[in-house]
Chain A
Amino acid sequence: MSIQSDTIVDIQGLNKWFGALHVLKNVDLAVASGTRVVVCGPSGSGKSTLIRCINGLETYQQGTLRLAGTMLGLSARETAAARRQTGMVFQSFNLFPHLTVLSNCTLALRRVAGRSRAEAEDIAMAHLEKVRIPEKAQSYPGQLSGGQQQRVAIARALCLNPRIMLFDEPTSALDPEMIKEVLDVMVTLARDGMTMVCVTHEMGFAREVAGQVVFMDGGCILDSASSRDFFGSAGHPRSRLFLEKILKH
Chain B
Amino acid sequence: MGFDLAFALSSVPTILGAVGTTLFVALVSCIGAAATGFLFEMVRRVGGIAGLLIGFVIDFIRSTPVLAWLYFLYFVLPFYGIRLGSMTVGVMGLSLYYSGYLAEVFKAGIDAIPRGQSEAARALSLSRRDAVIHVIAPQMLRNIAAPLGNYFVSILKATPYLAVLAVPEMLGQAFDIASETYRYTEPLVVAGIIFLVLALAISHGVKRLEQRLLAVGAR
Chain A positions within 8 Å of B, measured between CB atoms, are: 55, 57, 80, 83-84, 86-88, 90, 92, 94-99, 107-108, 111-112, 140-143, 156-157, 160
Contacts and interface: CB of A to CB of B under 8 A. Distances in A.
Contacts of A90: 116, 119-120, 123
B117 A94 contact: yes
A57 B123 CA distance: 7
Contacts of B130: 111-112
Interface centre among A95, A98, A142 (most CB of B within 10 A): A98
Contact of A83 (B125, B138, B217): B125
Contacts of A160: 124-125
Nearest to B137: A98
Contacts of B63: none
Interface string B181-200: 00000000000000000000
Contact of A92 (B116, B126, B139, B218): B116
B132 to A, nearest CB: 12
Contacts of B114: 92, 94
Nearest to A143: B218
Given A96-B139, A107-B124, A140-B216, 13 more contacts: A55-B123, A57-B123, A83-B123, A90-B119, A90-B123, A94-B114, A96-B120, A98-B216, A108-B124, A112-B126, A140-B217, A160-B124, A160-B125
B125 A80 contact: yes
B134 interface: yes
Contact of B125 (A84, A94, A99, A143): A84
Nearest to A52: B119
22 contacts: A57-B122, A57-B123, A80-B125, A84-B125, A92-B114, A94-B117, A94-B119, A95-B120, A96-B134, A97-B139, A97-B217, A98-B217, A99-B134, A107-B124, A108-B124, A108-B126, A111-B126, A112-B124, A112-B130, A142-B218, A143-B217, A160-B125
